[in-house]
């Protein structure tokens, strides 16, 4: 009898974490590796937020809190939704977890029965399908092409919904493509969903504040007829450069919020009291740096997109959010280059030029790769020049 459970056998470790780990190992072995795999801002957490955490420690805010978040943090989250998204929630419609990741995991554990389907548009964030599998559900992957801007269309959504559909996951701006859904695109999806009354909607808004070119953020809970069955997940990791603090949250239907808290009560209990105090300051404190940082990301995005589009065999869309681009390497997968798949491409790139990126197939769409540009311009310049040499050398 195997000591490992059957449900664990259904899933694989995160491929993005695997790339980061491989890059770390090569670096430890003395190689000059540039890692473009990480999903976190390279900026530091702002000082006012750090100071709030220090104050929490000094004032003895170091005990267990309410399992699903302190009232102070829940109030700050309610204000955030009101201020930024014009959405009204009450305290019992909010839950706080140890990162958005835990909130999502708990949501699937709390709601999925065997065979329940979860529609996941691809390219997707790597954890969605595995979380669904772990919870006993069935991921239903819908491929969204480059021509569609890597976004789900109303037509594809309509076709994907069955009697077993429990959730639709939307992630805008997206990891791994950076694509953001416009209000009109969300309304088109909503027109389908309004008629399918049993489908729940999970909106992952974690990259809400990482957006460019006056892209107007719109979230599906803002469609009044869908608010009652939408769970909106967000967090402080990406917006406030707080990945290590582990605070994520969700707002939505009371019964789901209660169930999510119930799982947390028998697993991790409350997220760190200190991190929660810091998150209150993040949400209630000054917000100016968000725009300054988005400007720095935009500059890097423009550089990376331009550099990639100058390489023969590669082409890349210009996304309006997150800190990723998702270029195609299909032009380099042929007999001449002896590369068959995007995985071959990223492995050879790492071996030959010491640049770590993640293959598109890990995100559910073959023939692409993901670059995270949340690193310095110095690194990006070096990386782009190495990627160019690599592509030229295999294309000769
Ligand atoms: N959702 C998406 C699309 C992400 O990229 C991430 C992190 O990489 C998360 C959720 C979870 O973030 P955290 O657990 O740090 O809040």
What pLDDT does residue 219 have? 98
Q: Supply φ then ψ for residue 143, to 5 degrees.
A: -75, 130
What pLDDT does residue 384 have? 98
What pLDDT does residue 10 have? 81
Check pocket membership of 39 for ligand 1, CB cut-off 6 A.
yes
Task: Let me know if 20 is exposed, middle or buried by CB neighbors in 10 A (0-12, 13-18, 19+).
Answer: buried
What pLDDT does residue 144 have? 98
**Is 46 in a helix, a strand, or coil?**
coil
What pLDDT does residue 265 have? 97
Q: How many angstroms separate the CA atoms of 97 and 260, rounded?
A: 9
Q: How many angstroms separate the CA atoms of 77 and 117, rounded?
A: 30
Pocket test for ligand 1, best of 17, 40, 45, 99 (most atoms within 8 A of CB): 99
Check: CB of residue 359 under 8 Å from CB of residue 343.
yes
pLDDT < 50: residue spans in the chain: none
Complete domains list, the chain, with CATH: 6-44+289-391 (3.90.1150.10), 63-284 (3.40.640.10)
Helix (H) or strand (E) holding 203: strand 200-204
What pLDDT does residue 40 have? 87
> The tokens of 85 are what?
């998204």
Check: CB of residue 258 under 8 Å from CB of residue 92.
yes
> Can you give the pTM of this predicted structure?
0.96
Residue 235 Cα to ligand 1 middle (Å): 8
Which residue matches tokens 């979230």?
A: 219
What pLDDT does residue 11 have? 83
What pLDDT does residue 17 have? 74
Q: Give the count of beta carbons closer than 10 Å to the beta carbon of residue 41.
A: 22
């Amino acid at each position: 009898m195997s000591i490992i459970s059957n449900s664990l056998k259904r899933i694989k470790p995160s491929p993005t974490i695997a790339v980061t780990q491989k890059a770390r190992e090569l670096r430890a072995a003395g190689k000059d590796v540039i890692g473009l795999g990480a999903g976190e801002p390279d900026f530091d957490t702002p000082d006012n937020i750090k100071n709030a955490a220090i104050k929490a420690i000094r004032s003895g805010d170091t005990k267990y809190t309410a399992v699903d978040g302190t009232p102070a943090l829940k109030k700050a989250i309610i204000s955030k939704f009101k201020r930024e998204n014009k959405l009204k929630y009450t305290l019992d419609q909010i839950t706080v977890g140890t990162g958005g990741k835990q909130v999502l995991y708990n949501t699937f554990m709390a709601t999925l029965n065997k065979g329940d389907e979860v529609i996941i548009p691809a390219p997707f964030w790597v954890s969605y399908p595995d979380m669904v599998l772990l919870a006993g559900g069935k991921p239903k992957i819908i491929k969204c092409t480059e021509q569609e801007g890597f976004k789900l269309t109303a037509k594809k959504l309509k076709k994907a919904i069955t009697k077993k559909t429990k959730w639709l996951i939307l992630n805008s701006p997206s990891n791994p493509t950076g694509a953001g859904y416009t209000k009109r695109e969300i309304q088109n999806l909503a027109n389908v969903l309004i008629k399918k009354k049993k489908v729940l909607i999970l909106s992952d808004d974690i990259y809400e504040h990482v957006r460019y070119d006056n892209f107007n953020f719109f979230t599906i809970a803002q469609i009044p007829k869908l608010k009652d069955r939408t769970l909106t997940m967000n967090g402080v990791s990406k917006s406030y450069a707080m990945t290590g603090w582990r605070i994520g949250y969700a707002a939505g239907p009371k019964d789901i919020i209660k169930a999510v808290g119930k799982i947390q009560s028998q697993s991790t209990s409350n997220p760190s009291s200190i991190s929660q105090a810091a998150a209150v300051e993040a949400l209630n404190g000054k917000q100016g740096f968000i725009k300054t940082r988005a400007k720095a990301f935009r500059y890097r995005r423009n550089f990376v997109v331009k550099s990639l589009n100058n390489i023969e065999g590669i082409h890349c869309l210009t996304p309006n959010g997150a800190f990723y681009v998702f270029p195609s390497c299909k032009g380099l997968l042929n007999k001449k280059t002896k590369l068959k798949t995007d995985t071959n491409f990223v492995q050879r790139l790492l071996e030959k030029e010491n640049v770590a990126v993640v293959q598109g197939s890990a995100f559910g769409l073959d023939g692409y790769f993901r670059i995270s540009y949340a690193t310095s311009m110095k690194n990006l310049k070096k990386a782009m020049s190495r990627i160019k040499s690599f592509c030229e050398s295999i294309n000769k």
